[in-house]
């Protein structure tokens, strides 16, 4: 009995020792519904090819749009589901994780591309010194006038004519500048759906202002990270300006235009300059990691890749460690070498365990004994 009580006390102490109270409160208020909804939307994005509007009664949401790549020219297999949470008014974008061969190939495009952190467009200098007009080439590809094209030529660049979705847009006042390096596959795949996202999000937020939530698992988490920076830099300021100019707003509606980013099992997205700029532009970001997830360990730091903030590691008992220190990662957390820990089902399992305040002590003891390797008496 004393051993059992000690186990319960240790579990409760572990919960109490979770650092960063405000971050944890924010995480707990959004993590479970976000993760559960993301899992359902992940499956929906995989299975929905016709752009059907599907009702998600169990989550209190309805689907606004299913976004595929421009002109249905599927180069990366990118899928995004946009839906509205009815009671809160949140507009949520869920990015599909790696499923197809095209997405695996996207993950492996690990060379970095230079991106201007101010306008969030690619640096104009290509490897061979030539520049191209991405919008023109995109239109030719969509119309079938060309069938082969370099992915680099489809990416909008600084110094070109601005893409249509940015011509009347306004940038945020964040003091970010310089060049950041971003994983080429993640950047290219996000830009394949960027125009549609800008247009849909602006239209939806003007019709019903609310929080914008970006979420995704695996590759989808990387795309959600890029989208969060893009939306905070360009879309939210543009929507606010339009609301003010139309006199169709009140203070509460303007204040509701916030952005949050919750990713699950996301690899590193870019270099240190991008990670630092992301922290300034998207302060409400939570990067959820299942303890031992091998995918979150790459691409490696010695290739110049860094994670964005804030890291939240959930172990097999459901304990959340917010921004754990290096020594804690080394001695109390698992090595990141487990591919099974990357599955969305595993994330759902550990997140549910972290939100089990009504679990009986008997069930809790049974779980703890199993996790600690103790035999049932």
| Res. 332 pLDDT band, cuts 50 70 90 | confident
- Predicted pLDDT at 303: 96
CA atoms in the 13 A half-sphere facing the CB of 208: 14
Residue 11 scores a pLDDT above 60: no
Cα separation, 175 vs 157, whole angstroms = 20
Give the pLDDT confidence of 151-175 residue by residue, as tens digits: 888 898 888 888 889 989 999 999 9
Most confident range (mean pLDDT) of 46-50, 138-142, 241-245, 299-303 is 299-303
Average pLDDT, the chain: 81
Q: What is the mean pLDDT of residues 340-355?
A: 83
State the first-to-last Cα distance of the chain, in angstroms, to the nearest integer: 11
Helix (H) or strand (E) holding 72: none
Cα separation, 167 vs 314, whole angstroms = 42
- Predicted pLDDT at 145: 76
| Res. 302 pLDDT band, cuts 50 70 90 | very high
- Predicted pLDDT at 299: 97
What is the widest separation between alpha-carbon atoms in the chain?
76
Give the pLDDT confidence of 246-290 residue by residue, as tens digits: 876 788 889 999 999 989 999 999 999 999 999 999 999 989 999
Give the pLDDT confidence of 197-253 residue by residue, as tens digits: 999 999 999 999 999 999 999 999 999 999 999 999 999 999 999 999 887 678 888
Preceding omega of 128 cis (within 30 degrees of 0) = no
| Res. 372 pLDDT band, cuts 50 70 90 | low
The DSSP secondary-structure symbol of 152 reads G
Check if the beta carbon of residue 18 is closer than 8 Å to that of residue 319: yes
- Predicted pLDDT at 277: 97
80: closest CA among 61, 65, 100? Answer: 65
Q: What is the mean pLDDT of residues 346-375?
A: 67
Residue 373 scores a pLDDT above 70: no
- Predicted pLDDT at 360: 64
Cα separation, 156 vs 136, whole angstroms = 10
What values do phi and psi take at 9, rounded to 5?
A: -60, -40
Residue 98 scores a pLDDT above 70: yes
Give the pLDDT confidence of 174-201 residue by residue, as tens digits: 999 999 999 999 999 999 999 999 999 9
| Res. 57 pLDDT band, cuts 50 70 90 | very low
Residue 121 scores a pLDDT above 80: yes
Residue 33 scores a pLDDT above 90: no
Q: How many residues in total does the chain contain? A: 377
Cα separation, 349 vs 37, whole angstroms = 14
What percentage of the chain carries pLDDT values higher than 90?
45
């Amino acid at each position: 009995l004393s051993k059992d009580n000690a186990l319960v006390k240790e579990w409760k102490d572990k919960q109490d020792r979770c650092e960063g109270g405000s971050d944890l409160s924010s995480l707990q208020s959004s993590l479970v519904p976000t993760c559960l909804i993301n899992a359902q939307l992940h499956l929906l994005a995989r299975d929905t090819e016709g752009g059907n509007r599907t009702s998600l009664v169990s989550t209190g949401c309805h689907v606004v749009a299913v976004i595929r790549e421009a002109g249905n020219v599927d180069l990366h297999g990118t899928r995004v589901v946009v839906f509205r949470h009815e009671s809160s008014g949140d507009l949520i974008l869920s990015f599909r994780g790696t499923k197809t061969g095209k997405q695996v190939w996207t993950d492996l495009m690990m060379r970095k591309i230079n991106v201007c952190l101010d306008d969030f467009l690619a640096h104009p200098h290509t490897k061979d010194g030539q520049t191209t007009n991405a919008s023109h080439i995109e239109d030719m590809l969509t119309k079938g006038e060309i069938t082969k094209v370099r992915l680099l030529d489809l990416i909008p660049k600084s110094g070109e004519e601005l893409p249509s979705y940015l011509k009347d847009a306004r940038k945020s006042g964040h003091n970010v500048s310089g060049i950041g390096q971003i994983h080429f596959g993640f950047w290219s795949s996000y830009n394949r759906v960027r125009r549609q996202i800008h247009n849909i999000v602006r239209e939806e937020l003007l019709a019903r202002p609310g929080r914008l939530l970006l979420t995704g698992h695996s590759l989808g988490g990387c795309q959600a990270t890029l989208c969060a920076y893009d939306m905070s830099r360009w879309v939210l300021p543009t929507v606010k300006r339009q609301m003010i100019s139309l006199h169709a707003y009140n203070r509460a509606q303007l204040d509701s235009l916030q952005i949050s980013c919750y990713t699950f099992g996301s690899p590193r997205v870019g270099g240190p300059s991008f990670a630092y700029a992301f922290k300034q532009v998207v302060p409400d970001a939570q990067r959820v990691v299942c303890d031992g997830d091998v995918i979150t360990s790459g691409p490696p730091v010695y290739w110049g890749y860094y994670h964005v903030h804030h890291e939240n590691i959930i172990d097999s008992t459901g304990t959340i460690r917010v921004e754990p220190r290096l020594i804690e990662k080394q001695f109390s957390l698992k090595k990141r070498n487990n591919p099974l820990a990357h599955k969305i089902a595993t994330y759902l399992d550990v997140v549910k365990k972290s939100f089990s305040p009504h679990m009986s002590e008997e069930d809790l003891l049974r779980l703890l004994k199993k996790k600690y390797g103790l035999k049932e008496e």
